[in-house]
Chains A and B, each alone.
Chain A
Amino acid sequence: MSSAAAIESVETARTVKPGSRAWRRFCRHRLALFGIAAIVLMVLASVVGPWLIPFDQLKIDIRHRFAPPPWEGHLFGTDMLGRDLLVRLLMAGRISLSIGFLAMIVSTAFGTFIGVTAGYYGGAIRVALMRFVDAMLCFPSIFLLLILAAFIQPSVATITLIIAATSWMEVARVVEGQVRSLRERDFILAAEMIGAPGRYVMLRELLPNAIGPIVVAATLTVARAVLMEAYVSFLGYGIQAPMASWGNMLNNAQQYLGSAPWLAIFPGLMITLSVASFNFVGDGLRDALDARLDLR
């Protein structure tokens, strides 16, 4: 092979990996970096924090009710039962963030499954599945959430599932669109031509090329789930006392808005901070993973 030998000598490999390029684009996104930092900080603080603070979250201390921050070691003050607000905030963070992440995992998995199936098979299967998605989207999800929550014993697991059940549609739509556009690409045809079964095409060929949009949608889903949990708990259908979540802390703080505003301000800030952070990261990822920028 005369031409072949020479090919070897002239290699035109470009050293820039698409991954590193995406990372560079992400880093240019200031808010997304801020978001990542805030999320890491919140997660770390929630996990480790309660051990470092010398107060128990359930320890009632009637003498020090409504202590304004900072008060004798109660950095964020105390609540109506004299419990340390900071430690409760961090414990609530464990609950709220776990629900956010777990709901994201469940809804992303389910939404991806529905989206890939609909996009790959097309035809009647697609029509049926996407009608279902549309129907679910039409239904006001908060409403659905409240109805479900009213009938089901609230716990972390059930709240997670309920939130997931109302948040997978966006992922499904995004994935379906992506898969449908990939479906007509030559490399998918090539896989069909080697006799690849549907499972292989979906898992090995389609899914890896849809990871970008899935990751973005998943990040935004966490934000949404945290917000939803807060909402449901705020209305009293979610996480129940004495367990703390940012939502039910807000709920409890309602009556004391005038006298002890910090009881509402801190959980409110945490919700805002986490939701905003996840949204920033989602936006940053969307820009960074935009596949069009990677093509040549």
Chain B
Amino acid sequence: MSVEMAPAATAPEIPLVEVRELRQWFPVGGGLLRKHDMLRAVDDVSFTIAKGEVLGLVGESGSGKSTLGRAILRMTQPTGGQILFDGRDLTKLGRRALRPLRPRMQFIFQDPFASLNPRMTVRQIVGAPLVIQRPELNAAARDARIAEVLGTVGLSMQYAGRYPHEFSGGQRQRIGIARALILEPGFLVADEPVSALDVSIQAQIVNLLIEVRRKLGVAMLFISHDLAVVGHLCDRVAVMYLGRIVEIAPTRALFRQPRHPYTEALFSAVPVPDPTIRRDRIILRGDVPSPLKPPSGCAFRGRCRYALPECAAAIPLLRQVEGGHWKRCIRDDLVLGRPGKRGAVEEM
């Protein structure tokens, strides 16, 4: 595999998280007589996240976003590569050795129904990290901290004795965020934290996350398929396609001028809630390829309207095209469309 540098923000300071050529492959199929195939859910992914930085991760369903997020927090054992957290390689640590590091990195789940233990009260759920990581705290000190963090997420101690089923989806998501924040982590992975929520509740939770990062300075990997939300919340955005990062850039740069044809198509496909704008859409032909049998060369080749015969030759490298703007596409002659106002036509 190609050795690539990790795309980083322009600032040279030591990153909080550095992911190097991370791979997470899953054996699938296989049987007594047949050798199993390898599903390359995440393949050679490299990037960095600075202290307090929010990196957005977008991409097609099945492109490996959740797998990547889970691998970084070592919910799984990666197949290869390194995850440097504050300089320490997490892939080398076992369950027990990871335990003291857990308070510094937390996960926010997508499904607010499945991620809270139905048999525990809010106090027990939010307080569990303290019970485990700070056994020296007494009940009063623990309650004080629980009250504080519930306040941060917009709930009050009045709810502490209730069970998850007594709350709405948005409130449950707040409880999940409170649990993630109570140990004051420096790094959060949020896996589509708003996509299971109602439209009118999504904005509340996005606001909460904006406030959390502003007040607490937490670094975040924010996984989403909603480009608009990512644009709102993130400093930089990485776009994944079939297990690899195909483009990564500062948010503004990416939104002004996407450099990869997939990113362009993605922007163009987002429906905009304004009926007076009729855009000429890029409609992708073809189907999303299977991660079990990725096409040779550029994985986007089958759906790319700019594809050339050369695209089939080798997997394009992730190259820097501008300060901090990287893309995995061999063509530099393309002028790709901007999102939003693209081809705006006034109706009537």
Would you call A191 and B171 a contact (CB within 8 A)? no
Q: Is A71 an interface residue (CB 8 A)?
A: no
Contacts of B176 in A (CB 8 A): 190
Contacts of B156 in A (CB 8 A): 8
Contacts of B155 in A (CB 8 A): 4, 7-8
Would you call B99 and A190 a contact (CB within 8 A)? no
Q: Is A254 an interface residue (CB 8 A)?
A: no
Would you call A194 and B162 a contact (CB within 8 A)? no
Q: Is B278 an interface residue (CB 8 A)?
A: no
Q: Is B340 an interface residue (CB 8 A)?
A: no
Would you call B115 and A194 a contact (CB within 8 A)? no
Q: Is B275 an interface residue (CB 8 A)?
A: no
Q: Is B204 an interface residue (CB 8 A)?
A: yes
Q: Chain B: which residue is nearest A15 at the CB level?
A: B166
> Please, what's the 1-or-0 string for A184-212, where 1 marks a CB less than 8 Å from any CB in chain B?
01110111111111001000110011000
- What is the CB-to-nearest-CB distance from A13 to chain B, in angstroms, rounded to a whole number? 5
With beta carbons under 8 angstroms apart, the residue of B99, B119, B153, B208 that contacts A208 is B119
With beta carbons under 8 angstroms apart, the residue of A12, A186, A190, A192 that contacts B167 is A12
Q: Chain A: which residue is nearest B179 at the CB level?
A: A190
Q: Is B118 an interface residue (CB 8 A)?
A: yes
Q: Is A1 an interface residue (CB 8 A)?
A: yes
Q: Is A59 an interface residue (CB 8 A)?
A: no
Q: Is B51 an interface residue (CB 8 A)?
A: no
Would you call A7 and B171 a contact (CB within 8 A)? yes
Would you call A193 and B166 a contact (CB within 8 A)? no
Contacts of A197 in B (CB 8 A): 99, 132
Would you call A190 and B107 a contact (CB within 8 A)? yes
Would you call A193 and B119 a contact (CB within 8 A)? no
Q: Which A195-241 residues have C-beta < 8 A from chain B?
A: 195-197, 200, 204-205, 208-209
Q: Chain A: which residue is nearest B118 at the CB level?
A: A209
- What is the CB-to-nearest-CB distance from B164 to chain A, in angstroms, rounded to a whole number? 9
Known: A13-B166, A187-B116, A190-B179. A195 touches B99 (CB 8 A): yes
Would you call A195 and B154 a contact (CB within 8 A)? no
Would you call A13 and B167 a contact (CB within 8 A)? yes
Would you call B129 and A194 a contact (CB within 8 A)? yes
Which of A3, A12, A185 is the most central at the interface, judged by chain B CB atoms within 10 Å of its CB? A3
With beta carbons under 8 angstroms apart, the residue of B102, B109, B204 that contacts A194 is B102
Known: A190-B107, A195-B103, A195-B133. A209 touches B128 (CB 8 A): no
Would you call A187 and B114 a contact (CB within 8 A)? yes
Q: Is A14 an interface residue (CB 8 A)?
A: yes
Would you call B111 and A186 a contact (CB within 8 A)? yes
Q: Is B106 an interface residue (CB 8 A)?
A: yes
Would you call A14 and B165 a contact (CB within 8 A)? yes
Would you call B128 and A186 a contact (CB within 8 A)? no
- What is the CB-to-nearest-CB distance from B137 to chain A, in angstroms, rounded to a whole number? 14
Contacts of A12 in B (CB 8 A): 167-168, 171
> Please, what's the 1-or-0 string for B206-222, where 1 marks a CB less than 8 Å from any CB in chain A?
01100100000000000
Q: Is B298 an interface residue (CB 8 A)?
A: no
Would you call A194 and B128 a contact (CB within 8 A)? yes
Q: Is B117 an interface residue (CB 8 A)?
A: yes
Known: A12-B167, A18-B165, A208-B119. A193 touches B106 (CB 8 A): yes
With beta carbons under 8 angstroms apart, the residue of A186, A192, A200, A209 that contacts B115 is A186
Which 6 interchain pairs have the tightest Cβ spacing? Answer: A4-B154, A195-B102, A186-B115, A195-B99, A208-B119, A194-B129
Beyond contacts A187-B117, A195-B133: 13 other A-B pairs, Cβ-Cβ < 8 A, are A4-B153, A12-B168, A18-B163, A186-B111, A187-B115, A189-B109, A193-B102, A193-B106, A194-B106, A194-B129, A194-B179, A195-B132, A208-B117
CB<8 Å pairs between A and B, sample of 18: A7-B154, A7-B155, A7-B171, A8-B156, A14-B165, A186-B109, A189-B109, A193-B75, A193-B102, A193-B106, A195-B99, A195-B102, A195-B132, A196-B128, A197-B132, A200-B132, A204-B120, A296-B113
- Which residues of A approach B to under 8 Å, CB–CB? 1, 3-5, 7-8, 12-14, 17-18, 185-187, 189-197, 200, 204-205, 208-209, 294-296
